[in-house]
Amino acid sequence: MTTGTPAAPWRVAGLPGQKPPLTQFGVQPGDGRQVLRVATDASYGNLVLDTPRLPPGPDSLLRWSWSLERGLPASDLRTRAGDDSPLKVCALFDMPLDGLPLGERTRMRMARSISGEALPAATLCYVWDRLLPVGTQRANAFSPRVRFIVVSSGEARPGQWTAFERRIASDFRQAFGHESATVPPLMAIVVGGDADNTGGQSLGYVGDVILRP
C-alpha cells in the first residue's frame, strides 16, 4: 500500500442500505513503515480484501499488528447499544446454510435477497474490546452469524504496537464447529472499526495484514 487512500484490490464496504457514515481509512507512515489509519466517528465500515475461495488448511495463519490511539468509552460488545469496536480484523467464510437452524437459514436467505449480495454465513472477527478479557469468545449482539474473539482488551495504549498470529481454521472450528463439519472456503479478509451504535470516535492503526496459506 502507498500513502493515501487504500488501493485495489482492497475496497471499502459498508452494510446494505447503511445510514451511518463510513469509517475512514487511509495509508500513512507509522512505526517505520506504511500503516493503515482507521478512524471512526459514529460510523461503520470495512476495508475488504476478496480472497480465492479455498478452504484454509490447518496451518493457515492470519497475521497482523495494531495500535490503538483513542478507544470508545461507551463500547460494550455484550449489548446492542454498545456493540462497537475501534479495531477488528475478520475472516469471512462461505459456509453452507445446511447446518444452520431453520430460523437462521431463513433470515440469511432473506438478507441475501434484500441486499442482493452474497452475505457470508460465518464471520469470525478478532477485536479490541474495552471490557471483555483477552480470549473471550461470543456471538455478536445482533447476529449469531458473526462471532468475536477478543485479542486486545482495555483502554487505548497510544504508540504501543501488538502483533498477532492466528490459526484461522482452528478458530473457525471453535466458533462455528457445531454448525459445520468442515472448514468452508474463505471469502475475504476484512479490517475495520465501528462506532455507529455508541456514537463515539476512535483512532487506531493496523499494519502487516498477511494471510499465509
pLDDT tens, position by position, 136-172: 999 999 999 999 999 999 999 999 999 999 999 999 9
Instruction: Read off the pLDDT band of 64 (50, 70, 90).
Output: very high
User: Cα separation of 21 and 12, whole Å?
Assistant: 12
Judged by DSSP in three states, 169 sits in: helix
Grid coordinates given for 157: 495504549
Helix intervals (H) in the chain: 102-115, 168-176
Which tens digits make up the pLDDT trace of 72-92? 999 999 999 999 999 999 999
> In Å, how far are 122, 168, 174, 179 from 183, measured between CA atoms?
10, 9, 11, 10
Alpha carbons 27 and 113: distance in angstroms, whole number: 34
Lowest mean pLDDT among 32-46, 86-100, 108-122: 108-122
Buried b (16+ CB within 10 A) or exposed e, 156-188: beeeebeeeebebbebbbebbeebbeebbebbb
CA distances from 67 to 88, 91, 129, 206 (A): 11, 20, 13, 7
Partners of 166 in the beta sheet? 62
The CA-based diameter of the chain, rounded to the nearest angstrom, is: 50
What stretches of the chain adopt beta strand conformation (E)?
11-13, 24-30, 33-41, 44-50, 61-70, 85-93, 122-129, 137-139, 146-153, 162-167, 186-194, 201-212
Confidence of residue 116 (pLDDT cuts 50, 70, 90): low
C-alpha cell recorded at residue 120: 457470508
pLDDT at 1: 47
Select the more confidently predicted residue: 112 or 34: 34
| Average pLDDT over every residue of 59-68 | 96
Q: How far is CA 4 from CA 7, 26, 27, in A?
A: 9, 6, 5
For residue 98, give the DSSP letter: G
| Local structure of 143: helix, strand or coil | coil
CATH number for the domain whose boundaries are 24-212: 2.60.120
